[in-house]
Amino acid sequence: MNNSRIKITEEKLLSDNWYVLKKYTFDYLKQNGSWQTQSREAYDRGNGATILLYNKETNSVILTRQFRLPTYVNGNQTGMLMEACAGLLDKDNPEECIRRETEEETGYKVSEVRKIFEAYMSPGSVTEKLYFFVAEYTKNMKVTEGGGVEEEEDIEVHEIPFKNALKMMENGEISDGKTIMLLQYAQIHQLLA
């Protein structure tokens, strides 16, 4: 954090109940040369990784479905969200994290994962950067039922034909940003037919 146009003047902890929410007051040097004082809140939940598992033989992808409270309070009637496997890095590097999360959530133990890009998902208020991966899977890589290992997790695992996943994205059944990005990557790069 070394930008001469930013001077943080106050950092106030608002919450550290689930993750960390802070309010920052800072002076910002505008393009016209004047300084302006601004305040913003930033939610720090750590960085994460996500993956699209795809099978070229069956032209299918593995997605998960689980309850997401923020979507429920914002109008998703069931709160259930179809999404790509993902998790927080904790102390792991992105590749170790996504291998662990893939096995815990989906039950597949993948050997080869390929990083495709990184992205900030909601940079106006959340510090999280996501590392995006893709990996091929086969039936013999299934080692457990998946569903998550933490007590709070109740994750459904779905194998979906790729064409159906694209239709679900178009009609709004898939509305998760990271999942849409991964499906579009797979489509643009012709990972599946």
C-beta of residue 22 within 8 angstroms of C-beta of residue 11? yes
Q: What does the pLDDT look like over 59-78, one tens digit per residue?
A: 999 999 999 999 999 999 99
Rg (CA), the chain: 19
DSSP string, 169-186: HHTTS---HHHHHHHHHH
pLDDT band, very low/low/confident/very high, at 1 (cuts 50, 70, 90): low
Q: What is the pLDDT confidence band of residue 151, given thresholds at 50, 70 and 90?
A: low
* 130 within 8 A of 77, measured Cβ to Cβ: no
Would the pLDDT of 152 be above 90? Answer: no
Q: How far apart are CA 136 and CA 179, in angstroms?
A: 16
Contacting residues for 160 by C-beta, under 8 A, at least 6 apart: 60, 61, 62, 63, 168
The residues of the chain that CATH labels 3.90.79.10 are: 48-188
Round the average pLDDT of the chain to a whole number and report it: 95
Write out the binding residues for Mg(2+): 86, 101, 105, 153
In CATH, which of 3.40.50.10190, 1.10.760.10, 3.90.79.10, 3.60.15.10 is domain 48-188?
3.90.79.10
Give pLDDT tens digits for 81-137.
Answer: 999 999 999 888 999 999 999 999 999 999 899 999 999 999 999 999 999 999 999
Q: Is 108 helix (H, G, I), strand (E, B) or coil?
A: strand
List residues forming the annotated binding site: 86, 101, 105, 153
Percent of the chain whose predicted confidence (pLDDT) is above 90: 90
End-to-end C-alpha distance for the chain, whole angstroms? 44
Residue 63, helix vs strand vs coil? strand
Q: How confident is the model at residue 145 (pLDDT cuts 50, 70, 90)?
A: confident
Are the C-beta atoms of residues 48 and 88 closer than 8 Å to each other?
Answer: yes
| pTM as predicted | 0.93
87 closest CA partner among 143, 55, 145, 46: 46
